[in-house]
Amino acid sequence: MDVKHLCLGVLCTGDASGYDIKKYFESSFRHFFVAGYGSIYPALSGLLDKGYVDVRQQQQERLPDKKIYNITQLGRDAFQAALEQTVPRHKVRSQFLALMHFAHLLPTDQVLRALDTHINELETLLDILEEGRKTAVQGNYGEDFTREYAVTSTDALLAFVTERRNAILTSNANAKACA
Amino acid sequence: MDVKHLCLGVLCTGDASGYDIKKYFESSFRHFFVAGYGSIYPALSGLLDKGYVDVRQQQQERLPDKKIYNITQLGRDAFQAALEQTVPRHKVRSQFLALMHFAHLLPTDQVLRALDTHINELETLLDILEEGRKTAVQGNYGEDFTREYAVTSTDALLAFVTERRNAILTSNANAKACA
DNA sequence: CACGGCATGTAATAAGTTACATGATTTA
DNA sequence: TAAATCATGTAACTTATTACATGCCGTG
């Protein structure tokens, strides 16, 4: 399950351009897989080379040409096989937590800025997930599962981080009042 | 904040060998940064080249020699600078969720296996975090923050995934009863 | 005697990120 | 007129993963 396979996954739901696929990543995969053009376009080239997708050029008025990709039967089979062989890993890599782990080495205001930034990111993610709830097709189990999984985690974390941030603010205010 | 910087971070708390550092990663960083020997040993070589750490060889009876690394002032300064420039990103990359997103393409038993595997991972992580709670030095704000952050998320997710798994099991049993 | 822990490393490969490069259209 | 959206791609770089390679000690 890498960028290539996820592109195949998107194309299983319908034809799309690289640009469309990127938007799909942003709206539906954002909570578990982030990819930019720099990985999506090369991935599509690779899939084309392997015969997993076909492409047709679509001219547009007043806009750049589009390359519409569609998945082949070979591609579907490859995706199915990849799915079946996927080991269900789940990895977090967080500069935010790395920074917080060494918070004692930093001035309080930088720690607060980091917390605020993270809170913003969590809120943005919640907005996107909420948007997904509205637009999701009913009965799509997988999409629902991953979305609600992310909502569960994000809700809990938002409460946690906000509480900790406020605790720092009040203890800071107390320290100032004493001084 | 990459493997190199986190090694410096570990060495800020005291001298250690590559092997020790790996154990530190496993017990204290596991919930936000995973690294193996294949990245830690090369990282230490790099730090040595830059003069960020010194090394002394320690012979041991009946055991392989150890290389004990200690951080230099240059290394401390570099770590401080890196900390201050760290942008607080937080990234999740989950094959598990990728798989679940396409659950409709898989047989139910594979979905259940994936859920069980993930539940096991969450439980293992909770055990490690609980262990950390016991052994942690009181008053280490950052260590406490990251641990409780992870506990918050993991607790919530464990409840969510377990509930979903049971829902699948009961709806499966009903389907069988009807047939 | 097999397995897990202690201990260090290299080399090949895979993978993704960032910056670069271009350019028209629409909206505020 | 500035910014956002539409649209595609390359190249250099950074980074980490995996497998390989070695070998002793203690425990069950």
CA A113, CA A23: separation in Å to the nearest integer?
29
Closest-CA residue to B30 (of A110, A101, A1):
A101
pLDDT at B176 over 80: no
Confirm or reject contact between A102 and chain B (CB < 8 A): yes
Closest-CA residue to B55 (of B35, B75, B80, B26):
B75
User: Least CB-CB distance to A32: which of B32, B87, B92?
Assistant: B92
One-letter identity of residue A168: I
Cβ contact, residue pair B90, A86, below 8 Å: no
CA A120, CA A112: separation in Å to the nearest integer?
12
- The bridge status of strand A63-71 relative to strand B63-71 is unpaired
Q: Output residues with Cβ under 7 Å from nucleic strand D.
A: A 17-20, 23, 37-38, 41-42, 44-45, 60, 63-67; B 2-4, 34-39, 42-43, 62-64
pTM here?
A: 0.93
Strand partners, A58: A66
Contact A31, A45 (CB under 8 A): no
Q: For residue B101, give every residue at least 6 positions away whose Cβ sits within 8 Å of its Cβ, in sequence order, or none.
A: A9, A28, A29, A32, A142, A143, A145, A146
Contact A68, A28 (CB under 8 A): no
DSSP state of B29: I
CA A83, CA B98: separation in Å to the nearest integer?
9
pLDDT of residue A175: 73
CA B17, CA B12: separation in Å to the nearest integer?
13
DSSP state of A12: H
Confirm or reject contact between B109 and chain A (CB < 8 A): no
Torsion of CA B43, B45, B50, B51, to 10 degrees: 110
Chain A residues near residue B91 by CB distance under 8 angstroms: 34, 92-94
Which of the two residues, B153 and B178, has the higher pLDDT score?
A: B153
First to last CA, chain B: 56
Cβ contact, residue pair A102, B94, below 8 Å: no
pLDDT digit string (tens) for A114-123?
A: 999 999 999 9
Chain B residues near residue A92 by CB distance under 8 angstroms: 31-32, 90-92
Confidence class for position B43, pLDDT limits 50, 70, 90: very high
**DSSP-H helix ranges across B58-140:** 73-85, 95-101, 108-135
Interface list for A 13-72 with B (CB within 8 A): 28-29, 31-34
pLDDT of residue B179: 67
- Our CA-based measurement puts residue B64 at a distance from the nearest CA of chain A, in whole angstroms, of 31
pLDDT of residue B67: 94
CA A111, CA A103: separation in Å to the nearest integer?
6
pLDDT of residue B143: 95
pLDDT digit string (tens) for B48-83?
A: 999 999 999 988 777 778 999 999 999 999 999 999
Chain A residues near residue B126 by CB distance under 8 angstroms: none
User: Which regions in chain A score pLDDT beneath 50?
Assistant: none
CA of residue B38 to C1' of nucleotide D18, angstroms = 9
